[in-house]
Amino acid sequence: MSDLHRLSIRELSEGLAQAKFSSRELTEHYLKRIAKIDTQVQSYITVTAEQALAQADAADAAIKAGHATTLTGLPIAHKDIFCTQGIKTTAGSKMLDNFISPYDATVVAKGKAAGLVTLGKVNMDEFAMGSTSENPHFGSTKNPWNLEHVPGGSSGGSAAVVAADLAPFATGTDTGGSIRQPASFCGLTGLKPTYGRVSRFGMIAYASSMDQSGPMARSAEDCAYLMNVMAGHDAKDSTSVQKEVDDYVSNLNDTSVKGLRIGIPKQYFNVQGLDADVKARVEKSLKKLEEMGAILVEINLNMTEAYVPTYYLIAPAEASSNLQRFDGVRYGYRCENPVDLMDLYKRSRSEGFGTEVQRRILIGTYALSAGYYDAYYVKAQKVRRLIQQDFLKAFENVDVIAAPSAPTTAYKIGANLSPTEMYLGDIYTLAVNLAGLPAINAPVGFDKNNLPVGLQLIGNYWSESQLLSVVHQYQQATDWHTKRAAIAEENA
């Protein structure tokens, strides 16, 4: 079968169960595609072919023996921020380019327990700091829709592998938009769950109070299957929440769009820099939802201007603390011939971290330093609370909130935006992380250059089922999520 990569997760699961094809055949099919097509997309940092085939054989044996779960034998790609036992975990940094974790991240372990086959680890912005996946150490991953453009970031590798059909689904992480923005740039569905829904254990920390991982795939249905594996309490992560997990797949039809109250924040559609095509496509998708019975309600989110400055204080502050551990002593990169301990620290960190990571460590350290702590960090935390309250007030009157996922479509590789320009591109995603809310991106069409546009739906706490269900209804009535980039149509 040469078109296995065109099947949905449900179809793959059914095909394996009915022995239409084996996990080995499926895995070999993807490995062949990776060998041929990833020379252009450059999404994988590590391909674990041998291990994948062994996992596939084990999956086939389990299926034959009747021990299979729904996803046994399906291949997956993991963002290279998740620790994988025995396989390199780089976090996209020279600092960790030879790091082999002694244990699996919980998300990876859960995937293994469910019988998933790991194809490899994919590229990202260094330590998940960035929005383009133009990685200074591992190169730029390309957007499958147009190889001259970025796939977004920081989970750009995860988005690119799915959009080029180099994996049927992938894990991503989202601290300030890193699942939703690349999903938007690559025409995919991506869910950022409520903070605490998915374990952070073994996920290399960027900003711990906002880091959250989630599924990236073609459709809400595909994401629901992966969410069923990822979600749940984990004793190894003290911020993971002890709350019953939904069956996201069986809930896909539980929320009706009919009568659903969708809040449209006035401020969001007046943002300077919102591309006209993006605005038009997003508005068109809202019209479609209205035709399907949704009620569009104009709302106010008055704190919009505070999102970027608040996030870009808190995230670097937490990063500066989290990244202290990379000191050239215990693990990771160590400079050559240090003359003394201070030289070892200084040069290991200067040589091991790229420019953006160093910028954030410096900003964060400054914001946390005595004398500036109250003026910057504490103040940002207070504003963060106001942002959260703004959302809670809005949710008294609406079920979900709609927004673009990003003000533009994918940038050109090498566009070289200044840090401030780059940070402004995160205007629509950051508040969700500051407030700890769940949100989803759904593809809703293309701009004049044939680059994908995404709609973001933000839900109240623990509303993952509702978000997936609303997008699922939309995807039953439209076909944007079925569009494939030309490179995905290529056969290996």
CB-CB contact of 462 with 197 (8 Å): yes
List strands edge to edge, sheet with 295-299.
44-47, 117-122, 75-79, 170-173, 213-217, 189-192, 439-446, 452-459, 400-404, 261-265, 295-299
CB-CB contact of 314 with 207 (8 Å): yes
CB of 230 to ligand GLN, least distance (A): 17
**Nearer to ligand GLN (CB atom), residue 175 or residue 255:** 175
CB of 417 to ligand GLN, least distance (A): 12
Q: In angstroms, how far is the first alpha carbon of the chain from the final one?
A: 11
Which range touches ligand GLN (CB under 6 A), out of 1-9, 71-79, 170-178, 334-342?
170-178
Which range touches ligand GLN (CB under 6 A), out of 68-76, 126-134, 140-148, 458-466?
126-134
Helix (H) or strand (E) holding 440: strand 439-446
**Nearer to ligand GLN (CB atom), residue 60 or residue 426:** 426
Phi and psi for 356 in degrees, rounded to 5?
Answer: -65, -40
Question: Hey, is 401 helix, strand or coil?
Answer: strand
Question: CB under 8 Å to 193, separation ≥6 — which residues?
Answer: 212, 213, 214, 227, 230, 231, 438, 464
CB of 178 to ligand GLN, least distance (A): 3
Which range touches ligand GLN (CB under 6 A), out of 1-9, 59-67, 106-114, 127-135?
127-135
Give the active site residues.
79, 154, 178
Spatial distance between the Cα atoms of 442 and 180, rounded to a whole number of angstroms:
9
Task: Report how far Cα 241 is from the mean position of its chain's Cα atoms.
Answer: 20
**Nearer to ligand GLN (CB atom), residue 174 or residue 246:** 174
Spatial distance between the Cα atoms of 363 and 13, rounded to a whole number of angstroms:
47
**By the rule CB under 6 A, 426 interacts with ligand GLN:** yes
**Nearer to ligand GLN (CB atom), residue 206 or residue 461:** 206
According to CB under 6 A, which one of 129, 183, 289, 410 is a site residue for ligand GLN?
A: 129
**By the rule CB under 6 A, 128 interacts with ligand GLN:** yes
**By the rule CB under 6 A, 175 interacts with ligand GLN:** yes
Spatial distance between the Cα atoms of 230 and 213, rounded to a whole number of angstroms:
8
**By the rule CB under 6 A, 176 interacts with ligand GLN:** yes
CB of 206 to ligand GLN, least distance (A): 6
Report the site for ligand GLN in 292-321 (rule: CB under 6 A).
315
| Angle value at C-alpha 159, between 153 and 163, nearest 5 degrees | 145
**Nearer to ligand GLN (CB atom), residue 130 or residue 263:** 130
**By the rule CB under 6 A, 130 interacts with ligand GLN:** yes
Spatial distance between the Cα atoms of 315 and 206, rounded to a whole number of angstroms:
8
According to CB under 6 A, which one of 38, 165, 174, 221 is a site residue for ligand GLN?
A: 174
**By the rule CB under 6 A, 131 interacts with ligand GLN:** yes
**By the rule CB under 6 A, 134 interacts with ligand GLN:** no
**By the rule CB under 6 A, 154 interacts with ligand GLN:** yes
Interface residues toward ligand GLN, by CB under 6 A: 128-131, 154, 174-178, 206, 315, 426
